[in-house]
Structure 1
Amino acid sequence: MPARRELTMRQLRQMLRLHHDGVRTREIARTLGVARSTIQDNLKRATAAGLGWPLPADLGDDELERRLFQRPGVGLGQRRRAEPDWAALARELKRPGVTLMVLWEEYRESCPDGYGYSRFCELFRAFERRLSPVMRQHHVAGDKVFVDYSGKKVAIVDAATGEVREAELFVAVLGASNLTWAEATWTQALPDWIGAHVRMFRFIGGVPRLIVPDNLKSGVHKASFYDPEINRSYGAMADHYGIGVLPARPRRPRDKAKVEAGVRLAQTWILGRLRHHTFFSLAECNAAIRTMLDHLNDRPMRKLGISRRDLFERIERDALAPLPDTDWEYAEWRRVRANLDYHVEVDGFYYSVPHALIRVELDVRITTRTIELFHRGRRVAAHQRRWGGARHGTDPDHMPSAHRRYAEWTPERFRRWAAKIGPNTEGLVTAVLANRPHPEQGFRTCLGILRLYRGIDPARAEAISARALDIGALTYKSVASILTHKLDSAAPGTRTPATLFDHQNLRGSRYFN
């Protein structure tokens, strides 16, 4: 180790200057505020090193210190025992279960005369202090991924209108390997926020144990130091991937220093290098970002001497949990109430629920393809989402039995029923349905007519239908009158003349004279 010194380089230069000017050592000591023996000792060192005043113009502080205080045969700061590769140990320390004690034991096995444990830890901490701020925190492989949005945005031009729209930059950094993912999204809203996570997991190819977001509203519904409330859709996405959500403490940026450094690096590597490019679509922008990401992840880190991707492959990929079989599909949750017609309204369309849940509040999960309804955590209905066509989507199993039977009525079904009796009855049913502004308005009439024909001979039913068609009797009461008064016996095409009879209320011919 170098000899101990009590004077700074500036004071040593002042000492040599004063001594050259003939000032006594006692006065020099009083001026510099040190002991006289210290001045005498340093003057001896200067004489032994052949240094006087003025010093050479190109003599720097490092060289001056080396010449005054270096021991013969020993370099400045030179350590006398074999040292391990500190960068390799820093990488190994990120593996699960690896501690400094484990690394020191392995070091002493290969170097029995090496440093003791306390000196080993001291030298390793000194090496860590020389690392970049991104690497100062100790993160175990497969433990955490840090996510955040950059404050800087990417301009995207609409090729048709020339309108410039700014996109957000999402950044994610793995804790142990520093593997970085970034992409542009239109907004920081919940669909874009969760979609960026899904694509991030796909890029990583696995799932770490925890995800550390900022207290963005899309991720954290209510920020809290003790009990943060996670957004329901965000929490469902985390459950799908089997990952825990650990939001950073409010106003504690050091909790996510990893991604803060990653954001700054992404701004330099991505936004800085792409600032002269003009993008005309979000896909084009993300393709350029992906190229910059490949360069960033494949570039060796200055202090560790290994790239982010290589470090990820060596220590972190095997520590990640596997991805689920399918990607998470974004879903929005709402609270709805079932109406009297046992349907709920979602974006202008109506979806049925079991009729027993009328006026009950339900949770609805909305995706681009499905509508799912839950009551007390249990799914009670599922529908394909409607974007056009009929506004009502009704599952027959949700209907009361009476409604279900009515829903099964169709014009074709009534015609089939009537055709089983005969062509005249089928013609009567067709005429009844055609005589209404809407076919549904004739369903009950047809049902009543067909019920009248129960228990009578089909031939007579056909005669009644023919008579009704002949005289235009297209109501239930008219057909029932024909049946009751046995008017079906009259030949088709003839009408029974009204019988004249005397009555006191009838006017005679004299009345009109």
Structure 2
Amino acid sequence: MKISITTLRQVIRLLADPDLSMRSIGRTCRISPNTAKAINAQLVNKQLSWADLQALDDGKLYQTLFGDKKPGDSRKPVPDWIQVHSELYKRDMTLQLLWEEYRQRNPEGFSYEQYCRRYRAWKRTCKISLRQIYFPGEYIFVDFCGRTMPIRDAKTGEVWFAQVFVGALGASGYLFAIAVASQKIADWLKAHTLMLAHIGGVPRYIVPDNLKSAVLKNNKQGLLLNSAYQELAEHYDFIIMPARPRKPKDKSLGEIGVQIVQRWVLARLRDQVFFSLDELNTAISYWMEKLNERTTRTYPNSRFQRFFELDAPVLEGLRSDPYPYSQWRYQVRVDESYHVDYEQHQYSVLYTYAHQHVDIRANDEFVHVYYQRQLVASHTRQIGPGRTTLDEHMPPNHRLFREGTLEGLQTWAQSIGPSTVTFLQRSLEDKRHFASRLKAAQLLRREAQKDHWQGRIESACTHALRLNCLGFDRLRGIIRTNADSRQSTVPTVKVIEHENLRGADYFTTTSEAP
């Protein structure tokens, strides 16, 4: 069974942790320990680490680690022993016949002796139930309650239902609960962030159920996590270990925690009317504190006491910067004009990526575009319809055309100075000469770039505006003759005083009436 690139990256990241065994890595990534061991051997032989491979795109990672050969699971295919066991209950069915059918599907599979021996070994273990032991600071089990809580809009009276997120620590049984608006990925990640802030640390593993906000695929072919959830795990440095589908014992502590919260907290709030999430969470927080401080005959120490004695001292430190939530969109096609659409706004990528499929990651400030996990474009987030195009993303012929447009000339003028902007605007105001002057402006720009006198344009435009000369030929003449830098040579004439010259007093003196 070949493993996906996502699983391969996860295996390499986990191999960097010296405390994890091959068996635990295999269990986390849904691969055999031998496959994890084979990948580790490649890393050791080539002296590679997660830091070396993390930034590589998918193709280069495969080539660096395996050359032209892609990794695969070299084990012989293992039969579904539950299915084999069920088939044997059918009339006249034998292990011999089941093995023959197995070998027809898998010519390189087990021999008959190996087949029988493995079936008997599986049969001996199928009735054994293991009581799981969780070490302090290792596990948190998370899930949503099946019961929702109504919230009434104070203005309209409309009722909507909040989801209640629950986290249960493995060693102490300490419980955390908070109400969020939905089970969507944004609320799922928000609940995790608030939970980690509440307990003041990070566990080694978080075990979710297989809801879409956490797991996109979890089957025999591999495990595929939601990218935003995986980013959260990398930000806080914990390992996501989803429960296996239809294996309730994998998350039994989480289900017990959900049941306790529903019966001990939510049931008490059934008759209260809440008008906001904050009101609901205030009530939940009050009863959760009571629940965690509660003692029983079986557990004389409260969950709160066990948390501070067991889990709190060994939790990993919590990062001071909270996780910046980003929304992902996958396999977005780049159109023929080398733009991608996000929230009705188009953003450019390098023109060579036209017709390719890329991933978009967006937050409140930026939009990032990735091709095979490599960042290929970054833009400031824009709200509403429109188009954002960077010059460096355009092919040369498109760039030349854009530079000659009115928009391109205005951008060029702004890069030089305010007088250049004013000169261009006033020169193009006369619609009768718009086309000819636009062409003259294009020519002036090319000459300025070619002859390296672009730094003279701002001073020349200031001089031309002072003289009210709005022609580009006159502007070119000012630049070439340095007219803007010459001082006025007209001499100042001194006034000669004589009897006909009247001073200021003459005009301010008033004569008396006769």
Range into which the TM-score falls when normalised by the shorter chain: 0.5 to 0.7
Task: Give the TM-score, by structure 2 length.
Answer: 0.56
Going from structure 1 to structure 2, the CA distance change for 1:449 and 1:137 (only over 3 Å counts) comes to closer
Of residues 206, 209, 219, the one that matches 1:214 is: 209
Q: What is the root-mean-square deviation in Å for CA atoms of aligned residues?
A: 4.1
Question: 1:346 — aligned with what?
Answer: 342
Are residue 240 (structure 1) and residue 231 (structure 2) matched? Answer: no
Counterpart selection for 2:168 from 165, 169, 173: 173
Output the amino acid matched with 1:351. Answer: Y
Judging changes above 3 Å, is the alpha-carbon distance between structure 1 residues 301 and 368 closer, same or farther for their aligned structure 2 residues?
Answer: farther
Q: How does 1:102-251 map to 2 (within 5 A)?
A: 137-224=132-219, 227-251=222-246
Distance 1:325 1:451, change over 3 A: closer
Residues 1:409 and 2:405 are matched in the alignment: no
Conservation of the 8 A alpha-carbon contact between 1:225 and 1:249: no
| Cα distance between partner residues in 1 of 2:146 and 2:321 | 32
8 Å CA contact retained: 2:409, 2:442 = no
- Give SS of 2:177's match: strand
C-alpha distance 327-441 of structure 1, shift in aligned 2 (>3 A): farther
Shift of 1:273: 1.5
Aligned length: 328
Give the deviation of 1:412 after TM superposition: 8.5
Alpha-carbon separation, structure 1, partners of 2:414 and 2:184? 53
The yes-or-no answer on 1:315 pairing with 2:310 is yes
Give distance in 1, aligned partners of 2:364 and 2:295. Answer: 42
1:339 aligned partner, one-letter code: D
The 8 Å contact of residues 437 and 472 in structure 2, kept in 1 or not, is answered as no
Please, what TM-score do these two structures have when normalized by structure 1? Answer: 0.56
Deviations 1:457-490 (A, max 9, x none): xxxx99xx9xxx99xx9999xxxxxxxxxxxxxx
Q: CA deviation at 1:226?
A: 7.0
Match of 1:282 among 277, 286, 291: 277
Deviation at 1:317, TM superposition (A): 1.2
Which of 353, 356, 360 aligns to 2:356? It is 360
The amino acid of 1:268's aligned partner reads R
SS in 2 for 1:140: coil
Letter in 1 for 2:167: A
CA contact (8 A) 1:411 1:439 kept: no
The 3 A distance-change label for structure 1 pair 383 and 268 is same
C-alpha separation in 2, matches of 1:437 and 1:281: 63
- Selected match of 1:378 from 344, 353, 374: 374
Q: Structure 1 counterpart of 2:143, which letter?
A: D
- Deviation of the 1:447 alpha carbon: 2.6
- Provide the C-alpha distance between the structure 1 equivalents of 2:342 and 2:419, rounded to a whole number of angstroms: 42
The 3 A distance-change label for structure 1 pair 307 and 442 is farther
- Residue of structure 2 in register with 1:369 after alignment: 365
**Identity within the alignment, %:** 34
Following the alignment from structure 1 to structure 2, what is the Cα–Cα distance between the partners of residues 160 and 437?
A: 59
Aligned partner of 1:336 among 332, 335, 360: 332
Q: Which runs of 5+ in 2 are unaligned?
A: 1-18, 20-130, 452-459, 474-514
Larger Rg: 1
Number of the residue aligned with 2:119? none
Counterpart residue identity of residue 169, structure 1: V
The CA deviation at 1:397 is: 3.5
**436 and 400 in structure 1: CA distance in 2 versus 1, 3 angstrom threshold:** farther
- For 1:418 and 1:264, how far apart are their aligned partners in 2? 69
TM superposition shift of 1:450: 7.9
Deviations 1:286-309 (A, max 9, x none): 121111111111222442211112
Assess if the C-alpha contact under 8 Å between 1:225 and 1:250 holds in 2. no
Contact 2:153 2:275 in 1 (8 A): yes
Task: Output the CA distance in 1 between the equivalents of 2:432 and 2:418.
Answer: 21
**Residue 361 of structure 1, CA deviation:** 2.3
Cα deviation for residue 355 of structure 1 reads: 3.2
Q: How far off its partner does 1:325 sit? A: 3.5
1:394 aligns to 2:389 (yes or no): yes
Give the secondary structure class of the aligned counterpart of 1:211: strand
Instruction: Provide the rounded CA distance (Å) in 1 between the counterparts of 2:277 and 2:271.
Output: 16
